[in-house]
Amino acid sequence: MINGIIFQRDDNREYKGVEWDNWYLNNIFSELLEDFFGENIEKSWYDSNYVDVCNDYSFIEKYIELSKRENIKFRMLLCETDRLKPRLTNINWKTKFIGYDYAYLGGSYYSAVYNDIYSKRIQQFLYFKLNCNGLFEHIENLNEFIRLREDMISQDNNMILEQGDFTIYKLYEINL
C-alpha cells in the first residue's frame, strides 16, 4: 500500500533510503510543525500498523514551501509498505522507483540495509549487491537478506544486529 511521503535533506549522497536527515524542518519551525507532526505522522511508537510518513497534501505543500523559502535542497520519498496506516491516494507526482529498504517504521528510521550492508559493517552480508541508490533492486534479494539476518539473530542471540520493528519499504523518488 502507498503510505505517504518522507522529506529528506538532499546532500547528494549515494545511499538514498529512509535513514538520513528526515523531517529536517521540524527543529527550525517546531512551533509551526510540531503539533501536526506529533498528531498525524509520528504514530508508529503507539501503533505497529502505522509508518511515520505524511499523507496530508496541505502539510506536504507547506513543507515544500518552507524548504524552498529556507533554500534547503530536499528530496521526497514516496513510501510503500505492508502497513495499513496511513494511506496516500490521488498521487499526481512523477515518480521513479529507486529500490527497497528494510528499516524502522519511524523515529530514526534505522535501516538494516544501510547499517549492515552499505556500511560494510557485517562480514556475512558483503556478498549482497545494492543498486546505485544503496538499496536492493529486487525484493527477492532483500527477502534473502532478511532471512539470513533473522537466522543470525536467532542462532547467535547476536548483539551486533539491531532488533526492532522493521518493515520493507518500496521507495520512489518524487520529481517535482
pLDDT digits (tens, 9 = 90+) for 12-33: 899 999 999 999 999 899 888 9
At residue 76, the 3 state secondary structure works out as: strand
d(CA 51, CA 3): 7
**Nearest 5°: phi and psi at 7?**
-90, 135
- Give tens-digit pLDDT for 112-163: 999 999 999 888 899 999 999 999 999 999 999 999 999 888 886 666 888 8
- Give tens-digit pLDDT for 92-108: 999 999 999 999 999 99
pLDDT exceeds 90 at position 36: yes
H runs (alpha helix) in 101-160? 112, 139-156
Could you say which DSSP state residue 135 is in? Answer: S
Domains held by the chain: number:
1
Residue-number span of the structural domain to which 146 is assigned: 2-174
pLDDT level of residue 52 (50, 70, 90 thresholds):
very high
pLDDT at 158 (0 to 100): 62
